[in-house]
Structure 1
Amino acid sequence: MANTSSRTLRLLSLLQTHRFWRGAELAERLEVSARTLRRDVDRLRELGYPVEASRGVDGGYRLAAGAALPPLVVDDEEAVALAVGLQSAAQGAVAGIEESSLRILAKVIQVMPARLRRRVEALRAMTVPATWQPAGDAGVDPAALTTVALACRDSERLTFGYTTADGRCGDRQVEPHRLVSLGQRWYLVAYDLTRHDWRSFRVDRLSAPAATGDRFRPRELPAEDAADFVRAGIGNMPPAHEVEVLVHAPGELVRARVGRWCTVEDLGPDRCLLRMTTESLAWAAFAIGLTGAEAEVRAPRALADQLREWGRRFITAADSTVH
């Protein structure tokens, strides 16, 4: 029989995998008596897990929703799926949750056994991301992103190779402060120990980031927050466009096709309003095409001009097709 602590964790894991367990079946899975099972359930309740019990011949247990999210217990397959999904979200597969996805990804990777990390990396290497990348971007390596995030969290000095916008390469040693997701890119805000000043680095231009093991006392950032510091340092960042398009299709249909990149507001059974903030009007035009429906551009005017130009080129291409 497993010891009390490991058995309690096993019980918690089982309660998280099924909505309801019959008492006899649960006791059999744990190889304990009904009396021991009740004691283990009471132990989970003392730890703050809201386990509900029902009496009778078919009585049993289920884990109810509580006031706070309890720690989750996952098996190997679930851990790999969680890490791969979080990597995708951190790279912008779902707009607005990149930073929170990265924080939890760092927690998962930190405690994940090496054999599971290898499986996560193999899956990532063999998967083609479907996220939109700005022109010329190679994308961010999730492993590098996680390394940088952990160094920021632990106030640990970081070394990496860096390629500047004009193509110059060099080694950097920094005191990392924060990671910022801005304009479909990730930036590291850090104090550069070579240049003795604060800098922001595009993470897709980093190579081989590694924590040195040297801890440091965090310095005061010369800005309101890290995002403001990045914005102030990017003079040539493309302006963001606020897109608003009336789509003549049910909102449910449009969400299924482009909801991961846009917000969709229902206006009736056959109409909805599509909104997005993007640096690329080409991407906005592409999203409109993906809806597969008639649409009216409300803003900005430049998007309508782009659609006219695309339409002209598409018509020319269609008319010149060799039959």
Structure 2
Amino acid sequence: MADTTARVLRLLGLLQGRAMWTGPELAERLGVTTRSVRRDVERLRELGYPVRASAGVGGGYQLGAGGTLPPLLLDPDEAVAVTVSLRLAAGGSVTGVEESALRALAKLDQVLPSNLRGEVEAISEAVVAVEGVSMPVDARLLSTVARACRDKVRLELTYSARDEATTARRVEPYRVVAMGRRWYLLAYDLDRDDWRSFRLDRVHADSLHVTTFRFTPRAAPDAVTYVRESVIRSPYRYVARLRLHAPLDEIAGRVPQNAGTLSGLGDDTCELETGAETLDHLIGEALWLGVPFEVLDPPELRERVRELSVILAEAAGDGTAVPGSGTP
């Protein structure tokens, strides 16, 4: 009976994993005859699973949609992926589904095997989700880094910088931050004796090595604040400070977390600090916000605004603009 039950559960897992199976395919995967497959299909139907059967070329067995959702059979990788995704959604990284995600998470946590619960908790504790991400990340890499954060063990890795130069790094991992489009690791770089943020998509997964050296946690900066500031400053040639003539609440929804830092100045104005490779890109970002602004820093950006104001005035056929008279 135990063997039969295990085989029926395997059959259910196969039917959930693919749209259509032929009888011989299922028999080969389960190591039984097609007659045994037919009996096992009947057992599933008796348990309420709507298994459809069709004859002829292209026919076979298919798990149909029922009135209620049948139990799902998840392998370890799938269970970890689903649980972590639900926890990120429950934390607000996917808007509008927080309450539903919490209910689903509570049900899944009750049946999650103990050997997987530790891995899921490691990832959940290590990850801070500020905004939903669209850049994929290697699941094993994320899991390895998260466990190292939890267990407080050093990592050795190879990292590609923006200019594609690769370096070997020894780090103490603290937090993984999901922000904007990407995943970042906040870690203490032992060779540079300072904090650094690393984009996980630039970490060579095949070079990642978890050492046996445990470390005593240092006084770490706030992970979200550090990553946001490093993203804004470090990759860019120019960093600008702009005074926006609009309330902070009005602007906050238009500026992604990884695109700039906003602070209120009072009098219905706020300050934006942001970075870009070119001055024109900075001006484009400011114009996209659709509110009046002043350039506080750097001076070369202020001069570029003056130059463009003349060009734009001439393009509009104004004819009254005088070089250097534009108001930044």
TM-score by length of 2: 0.43
Q: Larger radius of gyration, structure 1 or 2?
A: 2
Task: Give me the TM-score of the superposition, normalised by structure 1.
Answer: 0.44
